[in-house]
Structure formats: structure tokens, C-alpha cells
Structure 1
């Protein structure tokens, strides 16, 4: 079986679909460069990203799929796993080869994989929107470091731009080493250099606004006053607010 090796980008993945239809090699294995391990007994093809080819495939998918499925496809890509990349590739090839409405055939393993993976990514998106807490830095910018399971920054950008339109903010994905910066007019993708001593989830007190400590105390006091101890249900609370998200919540900090 031939192996297609792509650069991990959505453009590269779409070009892999283009190459498959161009060459019709039969079953292939798709793998990203980061995960590829060459050996002497298998044949592989390096897929080069070309905007023209990627646009052609993407427009073709848009003409064949409802908008909801286009979003599911994109969300699955953002899962950033080899299984997700394979699902997107195989699903796209299947859609182009099958009759209209093939996306509703949940008997196809890749249709099912796209649907299930997209649900997980959307869930992570909603949790990031709910649990992100900004801290005001000394220069007046509101900052939050995150480490989500999936690459959800492209999905939460519009939400935070609309919700916090009157303040400058940065949301930084510390695992993927890039973030979003809103300058009161537009949102841009940024990369920042940090030294090894910095805690990217929780900036040092010196980097924060003088008032940030007071804001945190006020928020914790509000949370305590609004809490009804007699109705405490820890099991239900953890179900809705999993412990792995507590590191973002001011009210959970000691």
C-alpha cells in the first residue's frame, strides 16, 4: 500500500485528496510528516501543498455537502490526530465517489468517525468559551493561557471577538505555541517567546495589573456568597465542570 505524506495543514490534506483522484493508486495510507517513519519496503509520495488544488477540492466539497457537514469536516481536522486526518481524507474521497446524500450513510466508518470526532471538538470549543478566565496584565491587555485537547482557537475566535469587543485580549494555546490577539479592530494569529521559567497558564504577579489581585478576591467572594452549601452536589458539579478545567477558574484557586 502506498503512503501519502502531507505537511499536516488542511491545504496539504486537501491536496492529498486531489492527488488521489489524479493518480487513482487504489487504497493508500495518509500520514503527516510529524508521524511518518520511512522504511525500505514501502513506497511513499510526498504531497506538496498547492493553493489551486486545495481550493478546487474545498469548493467541490462545499458543492456536495450541507454547511453543517463542512463544519464537521473542519472540526475533525482540528482534532489533529492521525486518525482524524485519515477520516477527513477517506470521507472526502468517499463523498466525491458516491451518490448525493452519501454523508448520511452512517454505515460508512468514515462518515461515523467524522460525526463522532466533530462532536468531541465542538464540546471542547464550548467548554473553552465557558471556562476561560482573563487576567489583566500590567500593560492593560487581558490574557489567558489555555491547553485544550484540540486546536479550538479558530472556532472560539468569533465568540470572544464579539463578547469582549471593548478590550484588548490574548488567548494563547501553550501546547501549540500560538495564540489570538484582538486589538479592538481585528483578531490576528500571534506567536510569543517565553523563557523556561514562566508559567504560561498563570502569569507572575509582576506581570499583572495592580488591580488584578483585588478582582480575583472580589470574584471569589461573589462565588462564595452565591453558593448554597446545603444544595452542594459535587458529583453533578464535576460532571458539568470537569476537574481538568478547574485550573482556568479563578474561584477554584486557593
Structure 2
């Protein structure tokens, strides 16, 4: 009598396995459609839900503000449905882990032209495979998602390091940034935790919205084109605290004194601190006071007594 190497499962284990079995993606047998949505991530997830509900693959997925209709057909407008979006977001965990699912959100924030189709193709490939495809680097969609996620991580890390706040007359600390990607949703937890004892605003000039923390919670705030801050100098001249110029001078002095001129390497410096960030960095603004070395050491005369760390004579 032959013996199986696979141990027999109980009836309860078999039922549990059947309940957790990953279902394959529904077949998209209807003609492809062009889809349009409101530009939000929840709206994109709703489009994914409608793709499988209609069983029609997407020819394109476009935000409503940039829709380009065809000659004979107009895109199908999909209204955002939070329940459907949550159902898709939770359902993705059947085919990928949380890190892989988070990378899809990062791809959406990257703002690459075909981000919507890339998110759909990655999710559809995982559902068709019935497993996590994060390490299948033979697939072009997997490679692009991984590359964009790495770029988003670098931009997030730089923004957490290069944000410089300025204090206004009403006690609000504000900062202006222009990141390559939409990283405000990613840096919000860092600044909320680090600066929990002060009100602050981080404004993304390129996208005309920001993060505002009021000592209790962090919210997204929108700006009109006319009211949004345009230049650092214009903001500084009108609403900055009267001590802010002194703070900037002190920060520049600190930056100059920790610098080692003999080890200056501008090529390496620009690699870690790209030029596009310099206009919002206090240490890169024109110096209001020329640099002067700290005069805190007395020269030792030849044959004279040695000086201790505090300048006292050692005998």
C-alpha cells in the first residue's frame, strides 16, 4: 500500500484552507474601455473595482481634468465609491503583502503619466498569478513599480532632512518645498511626531496644497493660485517673526563653522543635496554677515607653558 508524504488534513483545516484560497482574477471578456476618475487614489481603486464589475479591461485611465476623448468614444466617468475602494484595497492583501500594496500607493504618488495603468497591471498580474509577484523581476511592471518606490523613498528621506521652517508673527512655523513627487502624505507622520509641540505648515508650491498641524491633528489644506505663497522673499518680508533673520544668521554661522574647508567636495555635496533644493534652505541663502572663524584659542609661545582644554596654564 502506497503512503502519501503529505499529511492528511482534518475537515476543519480543509474548510479553513478553502476559505482562504485565493480566487483568480475574473476574466475580462468584454471590449476594453477608456475610464475617467476624479484623480484621487480612492477614485483609482473604484475604477479597478468597476473594471472587474464590467469585465472590460482599461484602454486608458485618466483624471477628469486631463481626459482626452477618442474620435468615436468618450471615456466612462467613474464616481468615487469609498466602500468599493476599501473593498479593493483590503482584497489586494490576498495576493500581496502590505509592503507590496504600499508600493502601489507610492506609484500613484509618483505622478508618472501612466501610473494608473501601471497600478492596475501590477494588481491584475498578481491576481491572475494568485500569489505575490514582488520578486518576479522578469516582469516589466514589477521592475517599474520597484524602481518608482525606491525613487519615492529617496525623495521622502530628502524632504524629511531638507525642510527648513520659518517662524511667522503669529507663532506658526511654515516651510515651502517643491519635491519631484507628491510626498506630503508620506512625510506627514514624521513631522507630526517630531514637531508635536508647535503649529506648522508645509506648503508644496508645485501642487498648491500643504499639511497643517494645529497641535492636535494634521490636515491637508488647499490653496488658491492667488493666495498661495510664491516666493520665499515675498513671504519673509510680510509675515515673518522679527527674530527670524537672527535665527537664519545663527543657522548659517553654525553651518559655516561645522564645515571643513580643506575637505570641500562640491560634487559629493550636490549628490547628497541636489541644487533644486537650495533655494529653500536657510544655509544656502546669501550671507548677511561674512564668515569669520571663531577666535577662542590663544597661541602658544615657543618655550611657554602648555595650555589646558579650558585655556588654563598647566604647570
TM over 0.5: yes
Q: Could you tell me how far 1:191 is from its partner in structure 2?
A: 2.3
Q: Is 1:205 aligned to 2:244, yes or no?
A: no
Q: Which runs of 5+ in 1 are unaligned?
A: none
Matches within 5 A, 1:179-198: 179-193=210-224, 195=226, 198=229
- Tell me: CA distance 1:21–1:119, structure 2 relative to 1, closer, same or farther (3 Å): same
Find the structure with the greater CA-based Rg. 2
Say if 1:174 and 1:200, in contact at 8 Å, map to a contact too. Answer: no
In the TM superposition, what is the alpha-carbon distance from 1:97 to its structure 2 partner? 2.0
SS in 1 for 2:198: coil
Q: 1:54 maps to what in 2?
A: 85
List per-residue Cα deviations over 1:13-59 (Å, max 9, x = no partner): 11111111112224532222222211323453222211121111000
Report what 1:164 is aligned to.
195
Q: Secondary structure of 1:204's partner?
A: helix
Distance 1:27 1:137, change over 3 A: closer
Partner SS for 1:143: strand
Partner residue, 2:255: 223
Aligned to 1:244: 276
Moved more, 182-191 or 199-208: 199-208
Give secondary structure in 1 for the equivalent of 2:134.
helix
RMSD, aligned α-carbons: 1.8
Higher share in helix: 1
Higher relative contact order (CA 8 A, sep 6+): 1
Quote the residue 2:13 is aligned against: none
Pick aligned residue for 2:176 from 122, 145, 162: 145
SS in structure 1 of the partner of residue 56 of structure 2: coil
Task: Flag the 1:108–1:101 CA change in 2: closer, same or farther, 3 A.
Answer: same
Moved more, 1-10 or 65-74: 1-10
- The correspondence for 2:206, drawn from 160, 175, 192, is 175
User: Where does residue 126 of structure 1 map in the other structure?
Assistant: 157
Which deviates more from structure 2 when the two are superposed, residues 80-89 or residues 230-239?
A: 80-89
- Normalising by structure 2, report the TM-score: 0.76
Distance verdict in 2 for CA 1:194–1:26, change over 3 Å: closer
**What residue in structure 1 maps to residue 6 of structure 2?**
none
Summarize the alignment of residues 4-153 of structure 1 with structure 2, pairs less than 5 Å apart: 4-26=35-57, 28-42=59-73, 44-153=75-184
Retained in 1: the 8 A contact 2:34–2:58?
A: no
Alignment partners' CA distance in 2, 1:82 and 1:197: 26
Secondary structure, aligned partner of 1:82: coil
Distance 1:77 1:197, change over 3 A: closer
Instruction: Name the SS of the counterpart of 1:140 in structure 2.
Output: coil
By how many angstroms is 1:201 displaced?
3.9
Alpha-carbon distance between aligned partners in 2 of 1:41 and 1:14, rounded to the nearest angstrom: 27
For structure 2, list consecutive stretches of 5 or more residues without a partner in the other structure: 1-31, 287-315
For these two proteins, the number of residue pairs brought into alignment is 254
- Residues 135-165 of structure 1: per-residue CA shift (max 9 Å, x gap): 0001111000111111111100010111111
Q: Distance in 2 between matches of 1:101 and 1:196?
A: 46
